Amino acid sequence: MAKSRESQIRFSTFPRTEPPPGFAAEIVDAFRAHESDISTIDLAKGLTSDKVLAELQPELTKLGFQVEMGKKQDQKIERPVFYGENGVPTVRYQIDAYHPMLKCGLEVEAGRSWMGNAVYRDLIQTAVMVQVEHLVLAVPNHYKYKAQGKNLISKDYQNTVALADALYGHSRLRMPYHLIVLGY
């Protein structure tokens, strides 16, 4: 009997002094269920973040997430940042998916996650979103690209985990939410 390959979907949680939330395994399992279709290690070219999110949408919805379904305004998921007169949100940021009971946001990044600074945007925007106590930040394990005719790899998961270690481990800053960095 052939030994099945170990999954390359991996995750790290922050702060490092607390165990992963109970729901983390279910989210990781949703990614693992589609690993052959989304793996940035195995595929010659990774999918766009929209295509990865579309692959995961059925499982995320089953888990209770509201998931962005397209680029039209009524298909997007927004979280308030500020409320104005009569309790109407005046500033909102978009997020790929949100679980209202878990107060968990989910962002899926692809090619621009590390080199395009999307990781930084996600971390900061989540810090000011109302009722987001957890963020799952899914980034490529490897982002494959060409520069000057050479095939190169950016280790986005590794870079994002190093950034999270600095943010969550430093005494000058206290992040207001728990973070799960997921490499796919």
For the chain, what are the domain ranges?
15-183
> What's the DSSP call for residue 114?
S
pLDDT digits (tens, 9 = 90+) for 13-51: 999 999 999 999 999 999 999 999 999 999 988 899 999
The count of residues in the chain is: 184
Question: In whole numbers, what is the pLDDT of the chain averaged over residues?
Answer: 95
As a CATH number, domain 15-183 is: 3.40.91
pLDDT digits (tens, 9 = 90+) for 118-127: 999 999 999 9
- Between these two residues, 73 and 90, which has the higher pLDDT value? 90
CA angle 146, 148, 153 (to 5 degrees): 30
pLDDT surpassing 60 at residue 3: no
Closest alpha carbon to 129 in 107, 111, 113: 107
Entry pTM:
0.94
